[in-house]
């Protein structure tokens, strides 16, 4: 099976979708001629023409708004917002229009649109190029939110997102574009070409939205996470020497609660991990749901490990980033009780 980076896998998903359906179009800042700031759309304009892959002005509100109009009339826009942090100017269109079109028209009109955005830190992007705003999307009824953690998942999930009849937010952990990242910033990173999860099937396949993946089976505790943190979690578990079940959510909404609760009811201990800031983060939602469904199986309080409640720092990136040491400490704490 060919090996790809997450960038190549995402690009490949675009190619597959565009070949299969002439209504799929790709737009965003620099996605056409330039091929995308992270190269996820490289060559698409050349292959499919300027009518199907084109550059937009730097107008996020306008980009999302025109996308909603296109989607309402049968196109399938796949939009790239250059950084998730740039979504804020376009947020009104996502919330008030994209997410609500189906409900407000009682199903008469829909918005089958994908908005892709690189998310998260780890590249010294500081506060405006490193944020993880997923909770802003999961809080909005009408949106679906996806965060892949491997090239193979990125391709299959993106193809499922493009086929989905509703608007999907597709958050691409930019720290994972070129290789898995275990949070040890002082060690050389492994490229996807040397990692088994870099294997990506050719052609069309989908990974259903709303289905989590048990990345590592274990009996002592459950670690629930997604995106970049999946790889940090795996590293932390190995270092802690505890038999932890690691769950990669893949899709935050719809959420595969069944897989999570089955695991936590089995292990009785749980740590929730994400890179986004702690307060009102998605981890709070997870903790609430898990305690509700697993209350009588829990041996210890659920702990959250997350980014600090600060702007994403530049120089102190690794102090902010919830790396393996913090995850390990949390695992050790839940094991004590």
Among 47, 59, 193, 219, binds another protein (CB under 8 A): 59
Q: And the tokens for 19?
A: 């070949």
117 binds another protein (CB under 8 A): no
Among 28, 32, 36, 65, binds another protein (CB under 8 A): 65
Residues labelled as active-site residues: 129
User: Do residues 67 and 38 touch, judged by C-beta distance below 8 A?
Assistant: no
Q: State the Cα–Cα distance between residues 134 and 145, nearest whole angstrom.
A: 7
Q: Which is nearer to another protein, 4 or 31 (CB)?
A: 31
Q: State the Cα–Cα distance between residues 251 and 247, nearest whole angstrom.
A: 11
Distance of CA 157 to the CA centre of its chain: 10
> Which is nearest to 47 in space by CA: 75, 79, 12, 82?
12
Q: Which is nearer to another protein, 9 or 79 (CB)?
A: 79
Helices (H), the chain: 6-20, 44-48, 60-72, 91-92, 101-104, 134-138, 151-163, 229-240, 257-267, 282-294, 317-320, 324-336
**Dihedral over Cα of 56, 58, 62, 64: its sign:** positive
208 binds another protein (CB under 8 A): no
Q: State the Cα–Cα distance between residues 200 and 196, nearest whole angstrom.
A: 9
79 binds another protein (CB under 8 A): no
Min CB(119)–another protein separation in Å:
22
Q: State the Cα–Cα distance between residues 280 and 163, nearest whole angstrom.
A: 31
Spell out the residues 6+ positions from residue 315 whose beta carbon is closer than 8 angstroms to its own.
Answer: none
Segment lying near another protein (by CB under 8 A), choices 28-36, 90-98, 182-190, 227-235: 90-98
238 binds another protein (CB under 8 A): no
141 binds another protein (CB under 8 A): yes
248-277 binders of another protein (CB under 8 A): 253-254
296 binds another protein (CB under 8 A): no
The owner of tokens 């998605």 is 282
20 binds another protein (CB under 8 A): no
DSSP 218: -
User: Do residues 24 and 162 touch, judged by C-beta distance below 8 A?
Assistant: yes
Min CB(75)–another protein separation in Å:
5
33 binds another protein (CB under 8 A): no
69 binds another protein (CB under 8 A): yes
Min CB(221)–another protein separation in Å:
26
Among 56, 119, 178, 259, binds another protein (CB under 8 A): 56
303 binds another protein (CB under 8 A): no
Min CB(22)–another protein separation in Å:
9
Segment lying near another protein (by CB under 8 A), choices 60-68, 118-126, 186-194, 311-319: 60-68
Q: State the Cα–Cα distance between residues 61 and 337, nearest whole angstrom.
A: 49
Give the DSSP letter string of 170-193: EEEEGGGSSS---S-TTSPPPPGG
Distance of CA 298 to the CA centre of its chain: 28
165 binds another protein (CB under 8 A): yes
Among 7, 75, 117, 294, binds another protein (CB under 8 A): 75
Among 61, 126, 190, 214, binds another protein (CB under 8 A): 61
105 binds another protein (CB under 8 A): yes
Which residues lie near another protein (CB under 8 A)? Answer: 25, 51, 56-57, 59, 61-75, 92-93, 96-97, 101-110, 141-142, 144, 164-166, 253-254
């Amino acid at each position: 099976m060919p090996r790809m980076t997450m960038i190549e896998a995402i690009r490949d998903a675009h190619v597959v979708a565009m070949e299969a359906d002439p209504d799929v179009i790709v737009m965003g800042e620099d996605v056409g001629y330039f091929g995308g700031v992270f190269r996820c759309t490289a060559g698409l304009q050349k292959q499919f023409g300027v009518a199907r892959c084109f550059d937009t002005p730097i107008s996020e509100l306008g980009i999302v708004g025109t996308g909603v109009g296109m989607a309402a009339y049968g196109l399938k826009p796949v939009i790239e917002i250059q950084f998730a942090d740039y979504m804020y100017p376009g947020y009104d269109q996502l919330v008030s229009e994209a997410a609500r079109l189906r409900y407000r028209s009682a199903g008469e009109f829909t918005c089958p649109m994908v908005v892709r955005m690189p998310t998260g830190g780890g590249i010294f992007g500081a506060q405006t190029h490193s944020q993880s705003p997923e909770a802003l999307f999961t809080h909005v009824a009408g949106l679906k939110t996806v965060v892949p953690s491997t090239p193979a998942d990125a391709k299959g999930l993106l193809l499922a997102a493009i086929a989905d009849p509703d608007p999907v937010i597709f958050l691409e952990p930019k720290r994972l574009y070129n290789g898995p990242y275990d949070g040890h910033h002082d060690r050389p990173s492994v490229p996807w070409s040397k990692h088994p999860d870099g294997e990506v099937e050719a052609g069309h396949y989908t990974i259903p939205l709303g289905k989590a993946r048990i990345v590592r089976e274990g009996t002592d505790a459950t670690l629930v996470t997604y995106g970049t943190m999946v790889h940090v979690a795996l590293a932390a578990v190995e270092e802690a020497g505890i038999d932890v079940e690691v769950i990669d959510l893949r899709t935050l909404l719809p959420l595969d609660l069944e897989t999570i609760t089955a695991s936590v009811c089995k292990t009785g201990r749980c740590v929730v991990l994400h890179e986004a800031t702690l307060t009102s983060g998605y981890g709070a939602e997870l903790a609430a749901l898990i305690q509700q469904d697993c209350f009588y199986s829990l041996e210890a309080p659920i702990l959250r490990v997350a980014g600090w409640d600060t702007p994403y720092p530049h120089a102190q990136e690794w102090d902010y980033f919830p790396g393996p040491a913090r995850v390990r400490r949390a695992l050790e704490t839940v094991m004590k009780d």
